[in-house]
Structure 1
Amino acid sequence: MFFLKYLHKTIRLPPSSFGPHMRSHVERRLYDEVEGKIDGRYGYIISVLQIVEIGAGVLQPMTGLAEFNVVYRALVMKVFKNMVVDGVVTVVNPLGFWVEVGPMTMFVASALIPSYFKYDPSANPPAFVSDFGDESGQASRIEKGIAIRARIIGIRTEATDIFCVGTIKEDYLGPQAGV
């Protein structure tokens, strides 16, 4: 799920950034351009941990910009199909519920929820409520703010987001008590 990767990025600086603090301009531009962004090959770049090398700048004759090849080490999050993840429920509706797992969003459809969970339209907030209780005798609920464990069964990566489809229709998946 979390990996340390050495990555490369070309940073372009305008002539107004040239001078004694050019290195700090390159570093700041790198942080702004890559942290919190998605790279289709490596996943979500959480943080730049170390700048390994900043290459010599090359002036581009047509634009006047300087290009710097930067090698950096980053903490990335990549999810895979069949991976079990923990998240927090953000939205519940009759079709299923949405879960935030770090920076990504996962949808669990009602068909992928065990049959003993029934949608309760009169609940406030809306919730899926189980027919039987947990160890303490209380009915198990899936509602906004509840910690949930789910298995990823499908992934779609876009330029700015990672979307997943998940299931809780297996053993040890579903609402997590005391998390």
Structure 2
Amino acid sequence: MVYLQISLEHEILLHPRYFGPMLSDTVRQMLFTEVEGTCTGKSTFHSNYSLNSPRYGFVIAVTTIDDIGSGMVQPGRGFVLYPIKYKAIVFRPFKGEVLDAIVSQVNKIGLFCEIGPMQCFISRHQPYPFLIRFLKKILHSRLTNFFNKFSIISDDLFGFRKGTNTTMAIFYLVLDLLKTYHSKEYCVALFLDLQKAFDCVNHQVLLGPSI
């Protein structure tokens, strides 16, 4: 991420009502309005960088206006086109560069970030949501059938499959505890909750009758 002073070009399309003694000032003011705060412009020269190909950046501020060319009347419209050469301070991120950003807003469609003077929007939109859901459904169905066919997943393993969530795991655990208690037998249980999967279960509802 760098800040550069580069030479840029821009064209101002001026309405005939602005023709008058303040024409030059009007052209300058329109240049400031149209280019500052935008990502536009072709770079033609910079003293510290070899920019042989067109470069673009976020124009922060116009520093100098080098030349205002002769206006050309547009046929059939009456507007006048002024080519302008100027220098400006630009903010220039490069492809593949890692930048620090401040997240300013998060909503259901994506998030907004501030990277220096620029604002960036990162969308959560999936280009082919129906196709993705369809492929996920097929993949899940085939994997489930494969695991069941070769008994890869034990019946005592809960999770990853429909109808075998953590709530059902605690339900069967309570049944086993009650059965052991009424049979006056000993019971030992070992809990390994690596992903905190049981935190979302209402334990009071499930364990209430057995307490």
TM-score (normalizing by structure 1): 0.52
Q: For 2:81 and 2:64, how far apart are their aligned partners in 1?
A: 20
Structure with bigger helix share is 2
Q: For 2:59 and 2:84, how far apart are their aligned partners in 1?
A: 15
Q: Say which of 120, 133, 136 aligns to 1:105.
A: 120
Structure with bigger strand share is 1
- Please tell me the residue identity of whatever aligns with 2:22: H
Q: How does 1:38-57 map to 2 (within 5 A)?
A: 38-39=39-40, 41-57=55-71
- Residue 79 (str. 1) matches residue 80 (str. 2): no
Q: 1:4 to 1:61 in 2, by over 3 A?
A: same
Deviations 1:63-82 (A, max 9, x none): 11111110010111121234
Q: For 1:37 and 1:78, how far apart are their aligned partners in 2?
A: 12
- Residue 32 (str. 1) matches residue 33 (str. 2): yes
Other-structure match for 2:79? 65
Deviations 1:82-111 (A, max 9, x none): 434333232468xx975421213275x9xx
Q: For 2:40 and 2:101, how far apart are their aligned partners in 1?
A: 22
Q: For 2:4 and 2:34, how far apart are their aligned partners in 1?
A: 19
Q: Secondary structure at the match of 1:20?
A: coil
Q: Which has the higher contact order (CA 8 A, sep 6+)?
A: 1
Q: Secondary structure at the match of 1:23?
A: helix
What is the aligned residue count? 109
Deviations 1:90-133 (A, max 9, x none): 2468xx975421213275x9xxxxxxxxxxxxxxxxxxxxxxxx
The answer on whether the counterparts of 2:112 and 2:119 sit within 8 Å (CA) in structure 1 is no
Q: For 1:25 and 1:34, how far apart are their aligned partners in 2?
A: 14
- Residue 90 (str. 1) matches residue 104 (str. 2): yes
Deviations 1:124-149 (A, max 9, x none): xxxxxxxxxxxxxxxxxxxxxxxxxx
Larger radius of gyration: 2
Gaps of at least 5 residues in structure 2 are 42-54, 125-211
Q: CA RMSD in A?
A: 2.9
Other-structure match for 1:15? 16
Report % sequence identity. 37
Gaps of at least 5 residues in structure 1 are 110-179
Deviation at 1:45, TM superposition (A): 1.1
- Please tell me the residue identity of whatever aligns with 1:76: V
Q: Secondary structure at the match of 2:84?
A: strand
Deviation at 1:61, TM superposition (A): 2.9
